[in-house]
Amino acid sequence: MTQTQPEHVDVLVIGAGLSGIGAAAQLRTRHPGRTVAVLEARERLGGTWDLFRYPGIRSDSDMFTFGYRWRPWPSDTSLADGQLILDYLRTVAEEYAVDELIRYEHKVTAASWSSQAQQWTVTVETPDGTKELTTGLLWGCSGYYDYETGHAPHFPGQERFAGEIVHPQFWPEDLDYAGKKVVVIGSGATAITLIPAMADQTEHITMLQRSPTYVLNRPARDPLARKLAKLPESVRYPIVRWSNILMQVGSYQAFQKFPGWARGYIRSQTEKLLPEGVDVDTHFKPAYDPWDQRLCVVPSADLFKALRRGQASIVTDTIETFDETGIVLTSGEHLDADIIVTATGLKMKPFGGLPLTVDGAEVKLHDTMAYKALMLSDVPNFVFTIGYTNASWTLKADLVADYVCRMLEHLDRTGRKVFVPRRDESVGERPFMDFQSGYVLRALDDLPVQGDRAPWLLKQNYLVDVRSIRRAPLEDGVLELV
């Protein structure tokens, strides 16, 4: 059915995952007089943490920075599993009454800005048919990857394989891997999580990687949080959180500035954890420098323990072909398998693939420049949340929420309604994500660019970005307010 008179809300948030829940909670707290709706295409909240159901799914960032700044993570667990994270998000949604704002099975299919009306008209597919809403501020919190398809390259001969082939993004609830031989193709965070999570039940599990990844170990429970356990949460949480922030920023800067030292440090730590017979340089020596791609973190050495127990093994080679019973490698070795898991990565889909138009003209993402990595040039009253690649997603999400709330306060004070960054052609271009991971490289042509200097540039350094986003003047000569 077609709606004749569109409903209007002051702020429309797309996505009820980590970013969307945080956005709506901050709007509820700091702008209680504004109307807000959260549109979620799926049947449940949680985003990534509800979608992915593979064994062992967990955060690879510490929970004291992955949790919201304004809502403490409630335990000393540092790298939490998916269910704990989902429980946390549900609790926050209930505490801040965000659950009352979410409209499930509402998929946004188009958004059009009118300068004359100074608002967005948003087309939404719902269980009751197509509807339209209007809003003064559109906030994209749907992340950057495709929920409907993962990156799944075709392997030679895969049709011949007699067992099951599974992609982690679409894990079957009834998959029985007990007593089975399993091969996991991949070397990223998903593969490194799957191996120890499945190892106790499989006959044997093998991680087959084309190239190595840097892997760092950290305690599953935060040592500082445990030491400060008797302190009030209001005291303990900021201390532990800032300790983790400083460690993240400091280690990233040190690894980038001294890559030779970083390689040696990571190698020495890894070598200590490996069993005899597993060569560190064959299986854990990437061709790139630390943080050119995201570092993988394992809690309490669980991956290395599975290797030492003989439940798991790691093979670095390329695939010649699948056959009926497994995988033939280029070296000639054969990996027997009953189940093959293709942990081959994500497929990027910025802003959920939402088509945007401004005054009838299509917005082509690759022609836009990102402003502070939260807005797009010449796209009015549109904000997006995309987290850090080198630190916890939520650190950036919290900064974007702060910026939006500040902007709304500024508009109220000045009596203006529209904000839009205007691109200066003298500003040089840099990649939106200066990162060498495959999922980024595959999508570079579809992403906006980033400026090479402030205020367009975001430093990917939380301590610097706090000043740029949370404290810098809103009217900076680039942002036009009407």
- In the chain (482 residues long), the average pLDDT of successive 10-residue segments reads 78 97 98 97 95 92 94 93 96 98 97 98 96 98 84 90 95 95 94 96 97 94 94 94 94 93 96 94 93 88 96 97 97 97 86 92 94 96 92 95 97 96 90 71 78 90 92 92 94
Query: What pLDDT is stored for residue 79 in this prediction?
Result: 92
Query: What pLDDT is stored for residue 438 in this prediction?
Result: 67
Query: What pLDDT is stored for residue 439 in this prediction?
Result: 64
Other beta carbons less than 10 A from residue 132's beta carbon = 16
Query: What pLDDT is stored for residue 350 in this prediction?
Result: 81
Query: What pLDDT is stored for residue 144 in this prediction?
Result: 81
The pair phi, psi for residue 185, each rounded to 5°, is -90, 115
Query: What pLDDT is stored for residue 447 in this prediction?
Result: 85
Judge contact between 38 and 68, C-beta under 8 A: no
Residue of 173, 123, 167 whose CA lies nearest to 147: 167
Q: In the sheet that 375-376 helps form, which strands lie side by side, from edge to edge?
A: 375-376, 369-371, 449-451, 429-431
Q: Give the pTM.
A: 0.94
Reduced to 3 states, what is the DSSP secondary structure of residue 89? helix
* Helix, strand and coil percent figures for the chain, each rounded to 5: 35, 25, 45
Judge contact between 75 and 89, C-beta under 8 A: no
Strand positions, DSSP E, 233-351: 296-299, 312-316, 319-323, 326-329, 334-336, 339-342
- In degrees, to the nearest 5, what angle opens at C-alpha 303 toward C-alphas 297 and 304? 110
Other beta carbons less than 10 A from residue 103's beta carbon = 14
Locus of tokens 């809300």: 9
Residue of 473, 188, 166 whose CA lies nearest to 342: 166
The pair phi, psi for residue 410, each rounded to 5°, is -65, -40
DSSP string, 189-255: HHHHHHHHHHHTTSSEEEEEESS---EEEE-SB-HHHHHTTTS-HHHHHHHHHHHHHHHHHHHHHHH
Query: What pLDDT is stored for residue 1 in this prediction?
Result: 45
Helix 82-95 to helix 18-30 angle, to the nearest 10 degrees?
Answer: 20
